[in-house]
Amino acid sequence: MAAETSCDDGLRWSLVLPVKVLARAKTRMAAAAGPLREALALSVAADTAAAALRCPAVAEVIVVTDDPLAAAELSALGARVVPDEPDRGLNPALAHGAALARRDRPDAGVGAMSADLPALRPAELARVLEAAARAPESFVPDALGVGTTLYTARPGVPFSPAFGTGSRARHAAQGARELLMDGIDSVRRDVDTPDDLRAALTLGAGPRTAEIAARLPALSPGGGTWTA
């Protein structure tokens, strides 16, 4: 890992968000969300992108997706949407988005962020990005302490995302600085399961996610799951 560098005042960031084709998204939510699963996946991604776009440290949000509905919705929010031209999995998709970001904003840092952080708060993201500016590479572990919700690289530093199962250990092993600080729960709370969604709602999920969640029987008091 390169030596820690001093923080550049005003360093801004291009954030790359990967969004799956909705038909394949949030499969672990299938029993709880039933026919609303795709709508839930889109709502979570939209709330994440909207919050990131409100963060003053974020210069742009680049969404990598091949889903036309997600592309239209997130573009309308102000994100830049690009197709997954590599189509070789998550990390190549992130590298593709980062390459476009660096081509157009070479003086900005680049980050890869999960698109399922529906409780994301712009102020908490700003704190994380301020800390990220002090190291060549950084990452934020997820709430379970196993995965990663955000990986960053400063300008000029190779961008090497290692998302997937056990990504916290992989990012640490490649020398990225782990960012663990108080008060960034919304940056760590990704949503894969009904319990994750309940935790995000407790933190304060965005309006789209909250509206869909209110329609899910499994999330109501004593609620069950969908039946065929």
Q: Which residues pair with 14 in a beta bridge?
A: 60, 110
Cα–Cα distance between 22 and 152 in angstroms, integer?
26
User: Does 222 belong to an annotated binding site?
Assistant: no
Instruction: Compute the C-alpha angle 63/24/138, nearest 5°.
Output: 45
User: Does 167 belong to an annotated binding site?
Assistant: yes
Instruction: Compute the C-alpha angle 119/48/137, nearest 5°.
Output: 100
Cα–Cα distance between 50 and 188 in angstroms, integer?
17
Is the dihedral angle over the CA atoms 99, 103, 104, 109 positive or is it negative? positive
User: Does 78 belong to an annotated binding site?
Assistant: no
Q: Read off the tokens for 38.
A: 């795709």
Element (H, E) at 145: none
Backbone angles phi, psi at 81, to 5 degrees: -110, 130
**Strand 137-141 relative to strand 58-64: parallel, antiparallel, unpaired?**
unpaired
Residue ranges of the annotated binding site are 148, 164, 167
Residue ranges of the annotated binding site for phosphoenolpyruvate are 148, 164, 167
